[in-house]
Amino acid sequence: MDFMYGWFMDPLTSGEYPKSMRLLVGARLPKFTAEQARLLKGSYDFIGLNYYTSLYATDAPQLRNAKPSYVTDSLVNPAFERDGKPIGIKVASDWLYVYPRGIEDLLLYTKEKYNNPLIYITENGINEYDDPTLSVEESLMDIFRIDYHYRHLFYLRCAIRNCVNVRGYYIWSLFDNFEWSSGYTARFGMTFVDYKNDLKRYEKLSALWFKDFLKEETRLYAE
């Protein structure tokens, strides 16, 4: 966590990098001056968290002899599987395994370690690969996306009930978009964009569900 999350959070809250990073990275890790530390500490209005998935982590002492790099410095092996069992269902992207409980774990961790800062979930979403064999009507039936957000909202509510200071939740994404190295082949949107027909837009089933969810008091039940 220190190498993926504390790397950003610790300077903002304490004015220095995590102790584990300072010990393991040593002289290769830049040091803040006293003035830089003063300016950094508390220099945020809110914390924006992007959550998609979670990883297992196992001790990797053998990496002490590896070439120093960001990948090896933490002496940890990250993995999506443990004992041959994946942490969740894998979707289109290789890095996205569905693990809704992780959003609650991350929020509770943030509350305890960083004195419960104001938080907005700035990204949370799931994708499918573009399938040119499907009709537009078929492409709108994204029940899996409704399930994904329903479960994440359930655990988000659990965190809020445990006094985590979360004030907003933003879905990734409103529209299908150009997605990094995947380009237009990965669709994260709740709105289907027809790339072959003048970029016409159609609400997917998840968009209709989310509109109803926001209008009404929707009950969220455990898995």
φ and ψ at 106, to 5 degrees? -65, -40
pLDDT at 187: 98
Residue type, 77: N
Read off the tokens for 5.
């999350």
pLDDT at 222: 64
Q: Which residue, 102, 75, 64, 74, is CA-closest to 18?
A: 74
pLDDT at 24: 96
Say which residue, 86 or 223, is predicted with more confidence. Answer: 86
Question: Does domain 45-64+84-215 sit in CATH 3.20.20.80?
Answer: yes
Mean pLDDT of 189-214: 97
Q: Count of alpha carbons within 13 Å of 104, Cβ hemisphere only?
A: 17
Tens of pLDDT, residues 123-176: 999 999 999 999 999 999 999 999 999 999 999 999 999 999 999 999 999 999
Average pLDDT, the chain: 96
Q: Of 16, 123, 179, 203, which one is the catalytic site residue?
A: 123
The whole-angstrom separation of Cα 204 and Cα 208 is 7
Tens of pLDDT, residues 64-82: 999 999 999 999 999 999 9
pLDDT at 35: 98
Rg (CA), the chain: 20
- Examine the residue annotation and report whether 123 is marked as an active-site residue of this protein: yes
Domain boundaries, the chain: 45-64+84-215
Does the pLDDT value for residue 220 go beyond 90? Answer: no
How confident is residue 204, by pLDDT bands cut at 50, 70 and 90? very high
Mean pLDDT of 180-209: 97
